[in-house]
């Protein structure tokens, strides 16, 4: 049995913050939808990193707090029926009213980061994603790679596409990003892909999360993505299919204790990638 624990010890000190401390844009982290990741919980390293970059970071418990040009991060929302019940059917985490509010807010200038991990989170978030033209495979995205290697999206392996998030426009130039077993999605025509799967990568779709056998349905992920951005109306949208890359955790099992997230030695560029992405989201 693996034990997963948030790791707040290896959040880097930022010597060149983009904004003076507490003077940057406002970022809210959603806590309305039974979120697996919250500001003071599994996303504490993420919120601390952003605060060290000068952002003002708060939990969101009411849509009325949102102003145009604020950034809202929704990570791993889930319906109450699927809390500790990661088995089909996966219910929508967002009501039609939720979706209408969020879509209108982004159209008016809001900045939204949607993160939906492997099943059940990708399924729970798909109706919201559909409203912006994205479509999740509710499963586990698996890269075609040697066993034991990290899920590496790099320019070298043609899975990291050059974009304004990676080319130095909004910070450091990024040549690779590491993720940790997430989900996949297809993107609308006007979106800009960032993390792209290749032919031979696959989405495994079990009836119960983490339970796989030779009969588990799978889908080839050619032309699917794990990260993309989109200008939407007057606002901006970023969609990602893996949450651990944005935070820091330790996992302990029979083989020892391992860093999983931007604290991992396999993910040396993730912090700079996060900083670039959030700067793009929060600026004009």
Nearest alpha carbon to residue 244 among 178, 175, 166: 178
Note the pLDDT of residue 183. 98
The per-residue pLDDT for 255 is: 85
Q: Which residues contact 64 (CB under 8 A, 6 or more apart)?
A: none
What distances in angstroms separate CA 206 from CA 51, 77, 88, 217, 219, one per listed residue? 38, 19, 9, 7, 12
Q: Rounded to the nearest 5°, which phi and psi values hold at 108?
A: -85, -5
Q: What confidence score (pLDDT) does residue 131 get? A: 98
HEC profile of the chain: CCEEEECCCCCCCCCCCCCCCCCCCEEEEECCCCCCCCCCCCCHHHHHHHHHCCCEEEEECCHHHCCCCCEEEEECCCCHHHCCCCECCCCCCCCHHHHHHHHHHHHCCCEEEEECCCCCHHHHHHHHHHHCCCEEECCEEECCCCCCCCEEEECCCCCECCCCCCECCCCCECCEEEECCCCEEECCCCCEEEEECCECEEEECCCECCCCCCCCCEEECCCCEEEEEEEECCEEEEEECCCHHHCEEEEEECCEEEEEECCCCCCCCHHHHHHHHHHHHHCC
Which architecture, in CATH terms, is 3-282? Answer: 3-Layer(aba) Sandwich (3.40)
Amino acid 55: pLDDT = 98
Domain boundaries, the chain: 3-282
Cα separation, 270 vs 150, whole angstroms: 13
Count of beta carbons in the 10 Å neighbourhood of residue 266: 15
Kindly give the confidence (pLDDT) of every residue in the chain, 284 residues in length, as a single tens digit, with 9 standing for 90 and above: 567 899 999 999 999 999 999 999 999 999 999 999 999 999 999 999 999 999 999 999 999 999 999 999 999 999 999 999 999 999 999 999 999 999 999 999 999 999 999 999 999 999 999 999 999 999 999 999 988 788 999 999 999 999 999 999 999 999 999 999 999 999 999 999 999 999 999 999 999 999 999 999 999 999 999 999 999 999 999 999 999 999 999 998 888 899 999 999 999 999 999 999 999 999 98
Would you state the pLDDT for residue 2? 63
- What contacts 113, CB < 8 A, 6 or more positions away? 71, 72, 73, 74, 237, 238, 239, 240, 277, 278, 281
């Amino acid at each position: 049995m693996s034990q997963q624990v948030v790791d707040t010890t290896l959040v880097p000190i930022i010597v060149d913050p983009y904004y003076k401390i507490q003077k940057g844009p406002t970022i809210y982290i959603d806590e309305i939808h039974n979120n697996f990741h919250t500001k003071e919980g599994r996303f504490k390293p993420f919120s601390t990193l952003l605060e060290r970059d000068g952002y003002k970071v708060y939990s969101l418990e009411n849509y009325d707090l949102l102003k145009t040009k604020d950034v809202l991060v929704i990570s791993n929302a889930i319906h109450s029926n699927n809390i500790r019940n990661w088995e089909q059917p996966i219910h929508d985490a967002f009501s039609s009213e939720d979706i209408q509010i969020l879509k209108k807010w982004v159209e008016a200038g809001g900045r939204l980061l949607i993160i939906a991990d492997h099943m059940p989170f990708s399924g729970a978030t798909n109706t919201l994603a559909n409203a912006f033209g994205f479509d999740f495979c509710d499963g586990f995205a698996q890269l075609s790679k040697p066993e034991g290697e990290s899920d590496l999206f790099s320019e070298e392996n043609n899975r990291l596409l050059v974009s304004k998030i990676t080319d130095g426009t909004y910070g450091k130039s990024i040549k690779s990003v590491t993720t940790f077993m997430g989900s996949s999605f297809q993107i609308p025509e006007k979106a800009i892909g960032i993390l792209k799967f290749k032919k031979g990568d696959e989405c495994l779709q079990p009836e119960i999360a983490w339970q796989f056998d030779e009969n588990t349905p799978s889908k080839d992920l050619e032309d699917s993505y794990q990260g993309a951005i989109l200008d939407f109306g007057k606002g901006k949208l970023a969609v990602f299919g893996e949450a651990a890359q944005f935070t820091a955790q330790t996992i302990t099992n029979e083989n020892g204790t391992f860093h999983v997230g931007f604290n991992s030695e396999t993910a040396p560029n993730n912090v700079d990638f996060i900083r670039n992405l959030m700067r793009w989201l929060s600026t004009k």
